[in-house]
Amino acid sequence: MNTPFWKKFLFFALPFLGFLFLAEAGLRLGGQFDPVRVLCFHPIYEREYCANAKGILKQNNPIHINDQGMLDRNYPLARQPGSLRVAVLGDSMTAGEEVPQEKRYHELWERWLPKRLGRDVEVLNFGVRGFGTWESLQMFHLKAKKFQPDVTVLGFYWGNDVENNLTALLESHPNPLRSQYEISLGRRANVARKDFNKWLWNHSAVYHLTRKGYNLVENNIKNFFSNNHQKPVRVEKLYPSNPQEYELTKRAKPFQPPPLGEDLESPFDDKFFFDSEGWYLTRRLIQKLNYEVRQAGSQLVILHFMDVDQYYDYPPLPLKQFDAFLKKEGIPALNLHPAFQRLDRAALYKNVFEDDTHFNSTGHRFLAQHSIDFLVRQILGSGRVT
């Protein structure tokens, strides 16, 4: 007598499901369940915060995402009559996952600006971890401009924005310079796959364990095969104490830019030379962002600041060239380098977390205090306050 297929299936499936159940329960009881992931995958700008998600992220800081997928409170699309709106774009330094919402620099602006301007002001946080200027342009085009901001602030981060822009180009992400906002079926399928993996991560400790093991094996294989094929990097890691905390540092000899038209050997080099491919791309992205912001009836303002390790013992960066470019484009900009560099090392490092270089509450307050006067001048000069 042949055994029915469903009985054979149950014979093998039930023990396996029972094993998974016991493993899941054991891992959860043992505390082997990492914080939930609140980043969803987006077919255009790769990632965004999941609407209405809650989680405990870095520095054990609880966060709540609003219904628009922003690390902020809820705002209606239509603003209150007579109020002003400021949209803030940027990466993790702007998003502020590590600190309570009320202590982020743009939240401080939202409390201080009404007192300075004599009217209601809403400051909306469109920052997302991992964004460069590439994704910030897409974020404005697809989401931020719908909120009709009077002023749009781009928080430009010298730590990795230029590299992130070049990486997006090299990896053929949807190109905002070409307005490539068409989404292919394959890309939609890939986003669905990634979101399913995220769902598993948020709901299964067994998946945590297997995924971590897979990632470890994958990274070891990649490192094994890539070590012999790495191109030399113009700027090397030379900090002997803890090189993981630093990206680049000086060489003994002074820097010499490559000949014009010659590509650099690594995307990490591009930010040092204003004639590099990475900076050429970044300038074009800023130009288009400025155009789109103006077309939307807003004014673009740029704040630019460094990684804390870039203020001392670091190769010179093209700060003057960047400021000159922004001035030529008619974009009001605040270079926060002088404010941070006036601090000695001990005071400087009090603005970031000890185990990473993101702003802590002190750093967000320092940035807000040293930018509020500039922001007020731009709003008053724009004619939006009479």
Q: Is pLDDT larger for residue 357 or for residue 323?
A: 323
Where are the chain's structural domains? 39-220+253-381
Instruction: State yes or no: pLDDT of 65 exceeds 70.
Output: yes
Q: Where do runs of H (alpha helix) occur along 128-184?
A: 133-142, 161-170
Structure tokens at 126: 């469109």
Task: Kindly report which listed range (34-48, 85-99, 337-351) carries the lowest average pLDDT score.
Answer: 34-48
179 Ramachandran zone, left/alpha/beta (phi>0; psi -120 to 50): left
Q: Are 135 and 155 in contact (CB under 8 A)?
A: no
The DSSP-derived string for 89-139 is: E-SHHHH-TTS-GGGSHHHHHHHHHHHHHSS-EEEEE---TT--HHHHHHH
The DSSP-derived string for 37-98 is: P-EEEETTTEEEEPTT-EEE-GGG-EEE--TTS-SS----SSPPTT-EEEEEE-SHHHH-TT
Task: Kindly report which listed range (72-86, 166-180, 337-351) carries the lowest average pLDDT score.
Answer: 166-180
Cα 119 from Cα 273, distance rounded (Å):
43
Task: Kindly report which listed range (121-130, 227-236, 327-336) carries the lowest average pLDDT score.
Answer: 227-236
Q: Which phi and psi (to 5°) does residue 138 adopt?
A: -65, -40
Instruction: State yes or no: pLDDT of 228 exceeds 50.
Output: no
Q: Which phi and psi (to 5°) does residue 324 adopt?
A: -65, -40
pLDDT class of 51 with cuts at 50, 70, 90: confident
Which residues pair with residue 334 across a beta bridge? Answer: 303
Q: What is the pTM of this model?
A: 0.79
Residue 249's pLDDT is: 44
Q: Which of 341, 113, 306 is nearest to 105 (CA)?
A: 113
Residue 237's pLDDT is: 35
Computed over every residue of the chain, the mean pLDDT equals: 82
315 vs 248, 261, 311, 312, 319, CA distance in Å? 8, 22, 9, 9, 12
Task: Kindly report which listed range (6-15, 79-88, 246-255) carries the lowest average pLDDT score.
Answer: 246-255
Structure tokens at 261: 């038209």
Mean pLDDT within 223-242: 44
Residue 244's pLDDT is: 31
Kindly give the pairing relationship between strand 333-335 and strand 46-49. unpaired
Residue 266's pLDDT is: 65
Q: Are 91 and 158 in contact (CB under 8 A)?
A: no
Domain 39-220+253-381: homologous superfamily in CATH: SGNH hydrolase (3.40.50.1110)
- The letter for the amino acid at 38 is V
At 28 the three-state DSSP class reads helix
Instruction: State yes or no: pLDDT of 130 exceeds 60.
Output: yes
